[in-house]
Amino acid sequence: MDFSRWRNLIIDMDGVLWEGQTPLPGLLPFFAALRSTRRAFVLATNNAGLTIDQYVARLGKHGVEVSSAEVMNSAEATADWLMARAPSARLNVIGGPGLLDALTRRGFHIVDSGVDFVVVGKDYGLTWQKLDAAVLAIGTGAQLVGTNPDVTYPIENGLGIGNGAILAALTAATGVSPIIIGKPEPIMYQQALARMQCTAASTLAVGDRLDTDILGAQRAGIASVLLLTGIATAAQLAASDLQPDAVLPGLPALTAALLAAPG
Ligand SMILES: [Mg+2]
């Protein structure tokens, strides 16, 4: 693969930059190479557990300086999507502080009746009452929007319940399927392209999951590279119909490829 054509990168974080709290090898040289070869990038994650400022701070703690415009999560992406489509929409929200903050900062009204959209993200304060309110709103015509479709997510001793499973419950109760903003839908990738003011043809997606990062890139018409430092294994890759444009063992190999083809 000729890396000189990739002037812009859309980069996943969990399993690419770090594993849990631990930065993966080659983190600092990778960002140094992005800067020295004048490549633009957006860090884009389905994980809306941290706010943009918290991601900027976390990278800073590891010695990497990025601006808030260089970070995107599915909560912000959802708020931007709604803003572009229905800036005066009235919302019912299941979600944590990150999603609520992203929506209220843009001036959205969170209401109990006359709801246009039910917006659903991970909510540690989820109650049966909140689910009832969402189902009632959908029953009276509100559209269902999910920040991300992941049905599980990693917790300490294995996998816990993800946002996609709560969306599935709402679909079971209403017969209404959600509009999904996060990967593997192309919306967050398209927003990242718009933010960098660049085309898909000059952009490379970097991720560790075939079913979200790589599939989403393909749906957005963006070339992709899979790093084997996260979820996907070489065995999974060999058995999958879904194939990235390149596979690299980790950040050091990607850094070397970028430096060898400065563009
Ligand atoms: Mg990941």
- Quick one: CA dihedral 179, 184, 190, 193, positive or negative? positive
Tell which wins on pLDDT, 97 or 248: 248
Residues 168 and 189 reside in one and the same domain: no
Residues 120 and 168 in one domain: yes
The three-class DSSP label of residue 69 is helix
Q: Quick one: pLDDT band at residue 153, thresholds 50, 70, 90?
A: confident
Q: Do 89 and 161 sit in the same domain of this protein?
A: yes
Q: Which among 14, 80, 116, 150 is annotated as catalytic? A: 14
Q: How far is the CA of 19 from the centre of ligand 1 (A)?
A: 9
In angstroms, what is the span from residue 221 Cα to ligand 1's centroid?
19
Give the pairing type, strands 158-161 and 152-155: antiparallel
Angle formed at CA 59 by CA 58 and CA 62, multiple of 5 degrees: 95
pLDDT in tens, 195-239: 999 999 999 999 999 999 999 999 999 999 999 999 899 999 999
Whole-model pTM: value is 0.91
Q: How many domains does the chain have?
A: 2
Q: Where are the beta strands (DSSP E) in the chain?
A: 8-11, 18-19, 22-23, 40-45, 71-73, 90-94, 109-110, 117-120, 143-146, 152-155, 158-161, 179-180, 203-207, 223-227, 246-248
My answer on whether 214 and 151 are in the same domain is no
Q: Tell which of 180, 214, 243 closes a domain.
A: 180
pLDDT tens, residue by residue, 39-78: 999 999 998 778 899 999 999 999 999 999 999 999 999 9
* 80 lies in the same domain as 142: yes
For 67-115, what is each residue's pLDDT tens digit? Answer: 999 999 999 999 999 999 999 999 999 999 889 999 999 999 999 899 9
In this structure, is residue 59 part of a structural domain? no
| Residue 228 neighbours by CB distance under 10 Å | 17
Give the model's confidence band at 31: pLDDT under 50 very low, under 70 low, under 90 confident, else very high.
very high
What confidence tier does 154 reach under pLDDT thresholds 50, 70, 90? Answer: confident
Q: Are residues 168 and 207 in the same domain?
A: no
pLDDT at 104: 94
**Residue 118: which CATH number?**
3.40.50.1000
12 is catalytic: yes
- Which residue range(s) make up the domain with 200? 3-46+183-260
Answer yes or no: is 10 within a domain: yes
Decide which of 129, 145, 180 is a domain's last residue: 180
pLDDT tier at 26 (50, 70, 90 boundaries)? very high
Of 165, 180, 195, the last residue of a domain is 180
Residue 61 domain-assigned (yes or no): no
- Which is the catalytic residue, given 2, 12, 53, 241? 12
Q: Classify residue 63: in a domain, yes or no.
A: no
